[in-house]
Amino acid sequence: MIEAGGGANSSAIRALPRAVLVDLDDTIVDGGAVVDCWKVACECCPPDVEPQVLAELLRLRDWYWSDPVRHRQGRLDLSAARRHIAGLALVTIGCDAAGLADRMAERYDRCRDERTALFPDAVGVLTWLRESGCRLALVTNGAAAMQRQKIARFRLEPLFDVILVEGELGFGKPDERIYQLALTGLAAAPRHTWMIGDNLEWDVEQPQKLGLTGIWVDRTGAGVPASSAVRPDLVIRSLAELREYCGR
Integer Cα distance of 9 and 217 in angstroms:
16
Residue 1 has a pLDDT of 55
| pLDDT in the model for residue 5 | 62
Which residues on adjacent β-strands are paired with residue 29? 25, 118
- What single string gives the DSSP state of each residue in the chain? -EEE---TTGGGTTS--SEEEE--BTTTEE---HHHHHHHHGGGS-TTTHHHHHHHHHHHHHHHHTSHHHHHHHHTSHHHHHHHHHHHHHHHTT---TTHHHHHHHHHHHHHHHH-EE-TTHHHHHHHHHHTT-EEEEEE-S-HHHHHHHHHHTT-GGG-SEEEEHHHHT--TTSHHHHHHHHHHHT--GGGEEEEES-IIIIIIHHHHTTPEEEEE-TT---S-TT-----SEEESSHHHHHHHTT-
Q: Is the pLDDT of residue 7 over 80?
A: no
| Domain at 2-31+117-245, CATH class | alpha beta
pLDDT in tens, 102-158: 999 999 999 999 999 999 999 999 999 999 999 999 999 999 999 999 999 999 999
Give the pTM.
0.89
Q: Indicate the pairing of strand 234-236 with strand 2-4.
A: antiparallel
Q: How confident is the model at residue 248 (pLDDT cuts 50, 70, 90)?
A: low
The predicted-structure confidence for 84-116, as pLDDT tens digits, reads as follows: 999 999 999 888 778 999 999 999 999 999 999
pLDDT band at 2 (very low <50, low <70, confident <90, very high): low
Checking if the pLDDT of 186 tops 90, the result is yes
- Give residue-wise pLDDT tens across range 31-58: 878 889 999 999 988 888 888 999 999 9
pLDDT at 13 > cutoff 70: no
CB 173 within 8 A of CB 206: yes
**Which are the contacts of 72, defined by CB distance < 8 A and separation ≥ 6?**
172
**Sign of the CA dihedral running 56, 58, 63, 67:** positive
